[in-house]
Amino acid sequence: MASRVEANQRIARLSAHLYPSNLQMEDSSGMRRANCRAKGGAPGFKVAILGAAGGIGQPLAMLMKMNPLVSVLHLYDVVNAPGVTADISHMDTGAVVRGFLGQPQLDNALTGMDLVIIPAGVPRKPGMTRDDLFKINAGIVRTLCEGIARCCPKAIVNLISNPVNSTVPIAAEVFKKAGTYDPKRLLGVTMLDVVRANTFVAEVLGLDPREVDVPVVGGHSGVTILPLLSQVKPPCSFTQEETEYLTDRIQNGGTEVVEAKAGAGSATLSMAYAAVKFADACLRGLRGDAGIVECSFVASQVTELPFFATKVRLGRNGAEEIYQLGPLNEYERAGLEKAKRELAGSIQKGISFISK
Ligand SMILES: NC(=O)C1=CN([C@@H]2O[C@H](COP(=O)(O)OP(=O)(O)OC[C@H]3O[C@@H](n4cnc5c(N)ncnc54)[C@H](O)[C@@H]3O)[C@@H](O)[C@H]2O)C=CC1
Ligand SMILES: O=C([O-])CC(=O)C(=O)O
C-alpha cells in the first residue's frame, strides 16, 4: 500500500497537471485545449482587452464574452489575468477566451486582433483631475500602443484610459513613429458622456433614455465635454436653467462618481456598459453594417484642432466619415470656444510626450 507521503506526492503531481502554477491561460481548463474536440474558430471578430482585470476591464470582459460578434476574446493585464480569464471562460457563450499576464505575453495577446480595447491605467481619486493621471497613464498607453503597432497594426483601437484628450494624441504619435498610423482606426471612447447625457436629458424630459439621442462633442474632461442640447432627438427645447443644469451635470458626471466612490476609483460599471456599446458599434461597422453613427474623439478637421470628438460613421475601416458640428446656439458657441482652449493644451501635451 502506498505510504501517505507517496499518496500526497501523487495528488501534488495530479494537481500540478490540472492546475499548472504558471497557468498558461490558453489552457485554463483542466484538459489541454489541444485535447478538446472543439477548437473554436466560429465566425466573428477577435477582440483584445488591455487592462482586463481592472474595475472597467472585468465587467467589460464579461459583456464582450456575451457579444455574439466576438469569436475570440483575449484578456491581458499585468495582474490577475489568470483569475479573470478562468472565471469568464466558464460562461456558455460563443467566444473563446484566452488570458495573458504581463509584458512578456503582450505580443501574443495582440497578434491577429481586429479590435483592441484599452482600459489600462490608474483611475482618479477625489480632488484629482483627469490630467493628474497623465504621469502614469501616458507611459502605459505608449507601451501598449507600441505592442499594437508591432502585432496588429490594422486593428481598430478603442482608447478608454484617461486623460483621453492626451492619450489619443499619444497613441497617434506612437503609430506615426512606427509607420502604422491610420487615423480612421484610432478612436477615443467618449461614449460614457453620451450615455450620461441621454440619461440626464431623459430624466428632465420625462422620457425613456433609450428614446433620447444627445450628441456630445469636444473632448472627455470638464468643459471640453460639450453636449449639444439644441440637437437632441427627439426635437425638444430647454429653459436656460435646464440647459445650465444639464451641461454642468454632463460635464461633471465623472466627478460625481469619483466623489460618491470616495477613494475607491471612478466609473467602472457604466463605463463598461458604454465601452461595450461603442465596441459593438465598431464591430457592426467592421462587419459592413450601414449607418452606424456614434460620437468619438478622433483625428479631425472639424475645428482647427488636430483631434476633436464628434459624430462619426463607423465602417469596415473604422471612422470612415466625420460629421460637422451642425448649427450651434449662442450658449454652445461660447462652450465650444472654452472647450477648444482647454483641448489645445491637452492635445499638445500628448504629442510632446512622444515627439520631444
Ligand atoms: N474614457 C472614459 O470615459 C473613462 C475612462 N476611465 C479611465 O479608465 C482607466 C481605468 O480605470 P479603472 O478600470 O477604473 O482602473 P483600475 O485601476 O480598476 O484598472 C486598471 C487596470 O489596468 C491595469 N494596468 C495597469 N498598468 C497596465 C499595463 N501596463 N498594461 C496592462 N494593464 C495595466 C491594472 O493592473 C488594472 O487591472 C483609468 O485611466 C480611468 O480614468 C474611466 C472611466 C471612464
Ligand atoms: O471621471 C473619471 O475620472 C473617469 C471618467 O473619465 C468618467 O467617469 O467620465
Q: Is 220 a catalytic residue?
A: yes
Atom 3 of ligand 2, nearest CA residue: 124
The pLDDT assigned to 29 comes to 42
The grid coordinates of residue 154 equal 490594422
Q: Please give the average per-residue pLDDT across 261-278, as a whole number.
A: 98
The pLDDT assigned to 251 comes to 98
- Residue ranges and CATH numbers for the domains of the chain are 42-188 (3.40.50.720), 191-355 (3.90.110.10)
192 lines ligand 2 (CB under 6 A): yes
Question: Which residue type sits at 142?
Answer: R
Q: Output the CA torsion sign for 99, 105, 106, 112.
A: negative
Residue that is written with C-alpha cell 471612422 in the block: 319
Name the E strands within 247-303: 292-299
Alpha-carbon distance of 311 to 292, in angstroms, equals 10
Contact 157, 187 (CB under 8 A): yes
CA atoms within 13 A on the CB side of 115: 29
266 lines ligand 2 (CB under 6 A): yes
The grid coordinates of residue 150 equal 508591432
Alpha-carbon distance of 223 to 211, in angstroms, equals 26
Which is the closest atom of ligand 2 to the Cα of 164? 6
Sorted by sequence, the CB contacts under 8 Å of residue 290 that are 6+ apart come out as none
Q: If pLDDT is split at 50, 70 and 90, which confidence band does 170 have? A: very high
Q: Ligand 1 centre and the CA of 117: distance in Å?
A: 11
pLDDT tens figures, 190-245: 999 999 999 999 999 999 999 999 999 999 999 999 999 999 999 999 999 999 99
Q: If pLDDT is split at 50, 70 and 90, which confidence band does 83 have? A: very high
The pLDDT assigned to 18 comes to 35
| Per-residue pLDDT at 1 exceeds 60 | no
CA atoms within 13 A on the CB side of 7: 4
Alpha-carbon distance of 2 to 119, in angstroms, equals 52
Atom 6 of ligand 2, nearest CA residue: 254
The pLDDT assigned to 356 comes to 75
Lowest mean pLDDT among 3-17, 70-84, 267-281: 3-17
Atom 9 of ligand 1, nearest CA residue: 161
Question: pTM of the full predicted structure?
Answer: 0.93
Q: Ligand 2 centre and the CA of 275: distance in Å?
A: 13
Sorted by sequence, the CB contacts under 8 Å of residue 275 that are 6+ apart come out as 56, 60, 117, 119, 158, 160, 189, 191, 192
Contact 25, 86 (CB under 8 A): yes
**130 assigned ligand-binding residue:** yes
pLDDT tens figures, 11-48: 444 333 333 333 335 444 445 665 666 555 568 999 99
User: Which ligand has its closest atom nearest to the C-alpha of 271?
Assistant: 1
CA 1 and chain centroid, separation: 58
**271 assigned ligand-binding residue:** yes
| Per-residue pLDDT at 256 exceeds 80 | yes
Peptide bond into 59 cis (omega under 30): no
Q: What is the DSSP string of 104-171?
A: GGHHHHHTT-SEEEE--SPPP-TT--GGGGHHHHHHHHHHHHHHHHHH-TTSEEEE-SS-HHHHHHHH
55 lines ligand 2 (CB under 6 A): no
